[in-house]
Amino acid sequence: MQPPPEVVHWLFSTGFILLGLFLVCEVAVGPEVWRKRAWRAYLWPGFLFGMGMFMWAVSVFFTTSTVHMIAHGIWAQAMMFAGACLLGLARGKLRSPLWTLTVAAAFLVSGSATLLHESQGWLFSRSSFLHHLEGWAAIGAAVFPIGLSFLPRSRFFSLGLAAVFFFIAVLLLCHRDIAAIFGHISPEARVAK
Amino acid sequence: MAARIDRIVPAVARRSRRGLVVAGVGPLTSLAGLAWAFVQPWRITFLHPYGKGGFWYLLGEPPLLVILVGILFHWFVALPLLEDLAGEEDA
């Protein structure tokens, strides 16, 4: 009953699309209107926390390699910690916008985990290529939450963060278990039958 | 709900660019998924001629997931937000 890895990537992509949509709308209407209903303030921090929880399931059920398990476990902790800090900020328990730096830390940990658990250099393989792209995108994206921690109302950094979520979602949707991406370059890259 | 959409979306979207963005992002997401389904119909696995996978491949159909996300976002997040935005702009 375990889902194929490609399906897991697709399901996670829906979470990233929603994170991006939440941010775009929050920037469009401004934080005052966005927080008019209390539940909306918790939407994207809650989703980040929830996605971290689902990452534990990936760590527990996909046990083909130790590196995979450890990477996803650390990744889950980083996402849940960042989500929890943002929930604290939304609730008012935490006050300093510098807590947004935990999102930057989550991006750095996520990017490193993505690169480490798919570290082989066969970039003509779809899975390897996409994981490298996702990993470096996540590491580069850390600049946006860093910017937001110093300029919390910056539209540039908020929309930049939303764009990164959309980009990662597209990459996750491109995952396929057997379809080659650059199969014409090397016979070692398997072609889908 | 249809009456609610007719009442809120055109009014707010006509009045402000903010409303247009909020009213538009969900449908745009669904449209992107629909366009993708036409460009790559083989990504909709229930159309596979010999059958593929099972439960998980019926659940995870990438273009349909994108369409569903757009609809759910519009229904549950954008519409209440448009109501609040209309109230804010009327005040």
Question: Does residue B81 sit within a domain?
Answer: yes
Contacts of residue A139, Cβ cutoff 8 Å, sequence gap at least 6: A107, A108, A111, A112, A115
pLDDT band at A129 (very low <50, low <70, confident <90, very high): confident
Going by the DSSP 8-state scheme, the letter that residue A178 receives in this structure is: S
Q: Over pLDDT 70: what percentage of chain A?
A: 89
Task: Select, from the ranges A14-28, A111-125, B12-26, the one with the highest average predicted confidence (pLDDT).
Answer: A14-28
Which chain A residue has the Cα nearest residue B57? A7
- CB-CB under 8 Å, B56 with A18: no
Which chain B residues are closer than 8 Å to A40 by Cβ? 77, 80-81
Owning domain of residue B66: 26-90
Which chain B residue has the Cα nearest residue A173? B62
Which tops the pLDDT comparison, A42 or A5? A42
Which of A88, A106, A126 is CA-nearest to residue A19? A106
> Which residue of A33, A34, A37, A168 is the best one to mutate when testing the B interface, meaning the one whose CB has the most B CBs within 10 A?
A33
- CB-CB under 8 Å, A24 with B62: no
Distance of CA B43 to the CA centre of its chain: 19
A22 at interface of B, judged by CB pairs closer than 8 A: yes
Domain count across chain B = 1
pLDDT band at A64 (very low <50, low <70, confident <90, very high): confident
Which chain B residue has the Cα nearest residue A39? B77
Question: Angle, nearest 10°, between helix axes A143-150 and A155-173?
Answer: 160
- Among the residues of chain B, which ranges form H helices? 2-15, 17-39, 55-59, 62-73, 79-90
pLDDT band at B87 (very low <50, low <70, confident <90, very high): confident
Determine the distance in angstroms separating the CA of A119 from the nearest CA of chain B, rounded to an integer. 26
Least confident interval from A71-75, A77-81, A155-159, B49-53: B49-53
Question: Does residue B14 sit within a domain?
Answer: no
Question: Does residue B51 sit within a domain?
Answer: yes
How many residues appear in chain B?
91
d(CA B69, CA A180): 27
Model pLDDT, residue B8: 58
Question: Angle, nearest 10°, between helix axes A66-91 and A43-61?
Answer: 160
Question: Does residue B11 sit within a domain?
Answer: no
Distance of CA B5 to the CA centre of its chain: 13
A79-99 mean pLDDT: 94
Task: Decide if A59 contacts A76 (C-beta within 8 A).
Answer: yes
A7 at interface of B, judged by CB pairs closer than 8 A: yes
Contacts of residue A92, Cβ cutoff 8 Å, sequence gap at least 6: none
Model pLDDT, residue A62: 83
A13 at interface of B, judged by CB pairs closer than 8 A: yes
Q: How would you class A92 by CB atoms within 10 Å of its CB: exposed for 0-12, middle for 13-18, buried for 19 or more?
A: exposed
pLDDT band at A193 (very low <50, low <70, confident <90, very high): very low
A10 at interface of B, judged by CB pairs closer than 8 A: yes
d(CA A91, CA A160): 24
R_g of chain A, CA atoms, integer Å: 17
Model pLDDT, residue B16: 85
Determine the distance in angstroms separating the CA of A129 from the nearest CA of chain B, rounded to an integer. 19
Which value does ipTM take for this structure? 0.87
Whether pLDDT at B1 is above 70? no
Model pLDDT, residue A173: 93
Question: Does residue B61 sit within a domain?
Answer: yes
Distances (CA, A) of A18 to A11, A15, A122, A125, B7: 11, 5, 31, 28, 25
Task: Decide if B33 contacts B70 (C-beta within 8 A).
Answer: yes
A100-110 mean pLDDT: 94
Which of A73, A78, A43 is CA-nearest to residue A58? A73
